[in-house]
């Protein structure tokens, strides 16, 4: 066995060009597989984080009446608010939370109208829960205008031709179901990964919301909650629901099932991409090793003639391929780690296709990232693929007739 290994090792470096082709193929295969995986995974994680930070938060609480029928009058009662505040203040897994007033309405300008979700917030508290304030493309976040400021999305701004300082009319029903309308001055324009969210959601101050519905106290319809660990959201939501009456806490996966489904299937989808890349690499190795067997036909014939049995010839070719894969794998992993780390910090600017990404719910700046287990997975896959790729050339060598092979040119 030691003799076979020594012969295989020498054969690897005897034809440097041929070995270099296989070596380079394995290195590029590992790099391409991991880098494509990192870009895809990074985009999916950015989309998930973007929606959680700007739209969903980790958990939301609504009254049961509000969940059954979204109406202005289905707000939390005073007893429910006190109960929820008590429960949230005692839970150490909760980082921060925000109370919101919500109504369905419309926004109009001289250029058209759009159906809206009007969200009343307390700016200082909302900044701790969502990232809308950090996603402003233009303007400020409730610091410039005192008289009815509004923060709108860039898609709504484009459709209604709105700019900073311009006025839009927002109308919705008050608590007596009478339609009210008021002018709001655009103070900020935000941009999230979601085109639909940017088109249909506007933020105003809770005090302005309360004044418009002619109420003495704010109408609170929603609690948005952030946790220390998003993985605990299901458990915490169930715990909160058990402790409050007439209200329900829902984690982000229930609020946005499409995002949950995407998150669950992303690992399988990315693994399919990786398998396709490794599968293509396998064909490259098979082709190169087959050429090597054809070039060494006379040499292999001589080995068979002097008494080396076919099993040892088979094993020698398999070991040669494995040597190349094992030698190339660390180089491929190192290059992959370096490129993923670098672009994970500086990002990849895809602004040339930014509009398409925006419509699909992705940011134009992509930051590749990948789980550490992927490095192990692709290494095992590459070595396994190399092993399988060596079988076809090795079987080809066993079919040679020693007498005919020796006479080969």
For residues 243-267, give the mean pLDDT.
84
Q: Is residue 232 located within the same domain as residue 373?
A: no
Which of 179-183, 199-203, 209-213 tops mean pLDDT? 199-203
pLDDT at 207: 93
- Domain holding 197, by residue range, is 55-257
Distance in angstroms (rounded) separating the CA atoms of residues 171 and 334: 58
Q: What secondary structure letter does DSSP report for 75? A: P
What gap in Å lies between CA 110 and CA 24, rounded to an integer?
A: 62
Residues 354 and 379 placed together within one structural domain of the fold: yes
Q: Do 245 and 107 have their domain in common? A: yes
Q: Is residue 221 pLDDT above 90, yes or no? A: yes
Same structural domain for residues 18 and 162? no
The rounded distance, in Å, linking the Cα atoms of 386 and 400 is 22
Report the share of the chain in percent with pLDDT over 90.
Answer: 41
Q: Does 363 have pLDDT greater than 80?
A: no
Cβ 114 vs Cβ 156: under 8 Å: yes
Looking at the structure, tell me whether residues 125 and 243 fall in a common domain: yes
Per-residue pLDDT band for 402 (boundaries 50, 70, 90) equals: low
Question: Are 88 and 231 in the same domain?
Answer: yes
> Does position 371 have pLDDT exceeding 70, yes or no?
yes
**Judgement on whether residues 69 and 116 belong to the same structural domain of the protein:** yes
77 confidence band (pLDDT: 50, 70, 90) = very high
Indicate whether 408 pLDDT > 60: no
Q: Rounded to whole angstroms, how far apart are CA atoms 358 and 149?
A: 26
Q: Are residues 111 and 246 in the same domain?
A: yes
What residue ranges in 191-281 does DSSP mark as E strands?
Answer: 201-205, 222-227, 247-251
What is the band of 401 on the pLDDT scale with cuts at 50, 70, 90?
low
Last residue of one domain, picked from the residues 257, 288, 312: 257
Per-residue model confidence (pLDDT) at position 297: 67
Last residue of a domain, one of 227, 257, 287: 257
- pLDDT tens, position by position, 279-330: 877 887 777 777 777 766 676 666 667 667 777 777 887 887 788 888 888 8
Assess contact for 98 and 122: CB atoms under 8 A: yes
Same domain for 221 and 94, yes or no, is: yes
**pLDDT score recorded for residue 404:** 56
Confidence tier at 398 by pLDDT (50, 70, 90)? low
Same domain, 209 and 62: yes
Q: How many CB atoms lie within 10 A of CB 127?
A: 17
Residue with tokens 């709001």: 184
Tokens of 364: 């134009």
Instruction: Identify the domain boundary among 193, 228, 257.
Output: 257
Domain shared by 196 and 173, yes or no: yes
So what's the pLDDT on residue 57? 92
pLDDT at 328: 84
pLDDT, average across residues 246-274: 81
CA-nearest of 171, 166, 210, 172 to 188 is 166
Specify the number of domains making up the chain: 2
Mean pLDDT of the chain: 84
Same domain assignment for residues 81 and 167: yes
The whole-number pLDDT of residue 358 equals: 66
Strands 149-153 and 179-190: parallel
Using 50, 70 and 90 to split pLDDT, how confident is the model at 29?
confident
Q: Is 3 exposed, middle or buried (0-12, 13-18, 19+ CB in 10 A)?
A: exposed
Q: Tens of pLDDT along 98-141?
A: 999 999 989 999 999 999 999 999 999 999 999 999 999 999 99
User: Tokens in use for 261?
Assistant: 């489904």
Q: Indicate if the pLDDT at residue 220 is higher than 90.
A: yes
Q: Can you give the pLDDT at residue 400? A: 64
* pLDDT, position 317: 79
Per-residue model confidence (pLDDT) at position 154: 92
Element (H or E) spanning 277, and its range? helix 257-295
379 vs 97: which has the higher pLDDT: 97
Q: What is the pLDDT of residue 165?
A: 94
Q: What is the pLDDT of residue 4?
A: 73
Banded pLDDT at 214 (limits 50, 70, 90): confident
Q: To 5 degrees, how large is the angle CA 263–CA 62–CA 258?
A: 20
């Amino acid at each position: 066995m030691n003799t076979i290994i020594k012969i295989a090792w020498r054969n690897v470096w005897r034809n440097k060009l041929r070995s270099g082709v296989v070596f380079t193929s394995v290195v590029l295969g590992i790099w391409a597989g991991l880098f494509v995986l990192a870009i895809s995974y990074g985009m999916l994680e950015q989309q998930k984080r973007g929606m959680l930070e700007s739209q969903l938060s980790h958990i939301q609480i609504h009254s049961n009446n509000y969940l059954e029928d979204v109406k202005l009058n289905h707000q939390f009662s005073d007893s429910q608010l006190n109960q929820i505040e008590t429960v949230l203040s005692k839970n150490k897994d909760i980082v921060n939370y925000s109370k919101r007033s919500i109504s369905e309405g419309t926004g109009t300008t001289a250029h058209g109208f759009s159906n809206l979700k009007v969200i009343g917030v307390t700016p200082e508290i909302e900044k701790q829960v969502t990232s809308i304030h950090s996603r402003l493309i233009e303007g400020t976040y409730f610091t410039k205008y005192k008289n009815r400021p509004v923060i709108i999305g860039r898609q709504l701004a484009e459709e209604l031709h709105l700019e900073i300082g311009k006025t839009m009319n927002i109308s919705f029903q008050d608590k007596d179901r009478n339609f009210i309308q008021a002018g709001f001055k655009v103070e900020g324009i935000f941009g999230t990964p979601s085109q639909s969210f940017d088109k249909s959601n506007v933020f105003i101050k809770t005090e302005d919301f309360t004044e418009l519905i002619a109420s003495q106290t704010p109408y609170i319809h929603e609690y948005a909650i952030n946790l220390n660990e998003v993985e605990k959201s299901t458990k915490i939501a169930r715990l909160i629901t058990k402790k409050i009456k007439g209200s329900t806490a829902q984690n982000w996966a229930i609020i946005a099932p499409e995002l949950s489904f995407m998150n669950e299937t992303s690992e399988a989808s990315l693994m399919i991409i990786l398998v396709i890349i490794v599968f293509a690499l396998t064909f490259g190795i098979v082709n190169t090793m087959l050429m090597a067997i054809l070039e060494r036909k006379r040499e292999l014939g001589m080995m068979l003639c002097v008494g080396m049995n076919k099993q040892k010839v088979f094993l020698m070719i398999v070991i040669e391929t494995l040597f190349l894969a094992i030698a190339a794998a660390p180089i491929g992993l190192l290059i992959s780690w370096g490129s993923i780390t670098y672009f994970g910090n500086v990002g990849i600017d895809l602004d040339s296709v930014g509009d398409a990404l925006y419509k699909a719910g992705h940011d134009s700046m992509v930051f590749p990232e990948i789980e550490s287990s992927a490095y192990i997975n692709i290494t095992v896959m590459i070595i396994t693929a190399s092993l399988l790729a060596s079988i076809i050339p090795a079987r080809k060598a066993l079919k040679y007739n020693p007498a005919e092979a020796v006479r080969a040119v």
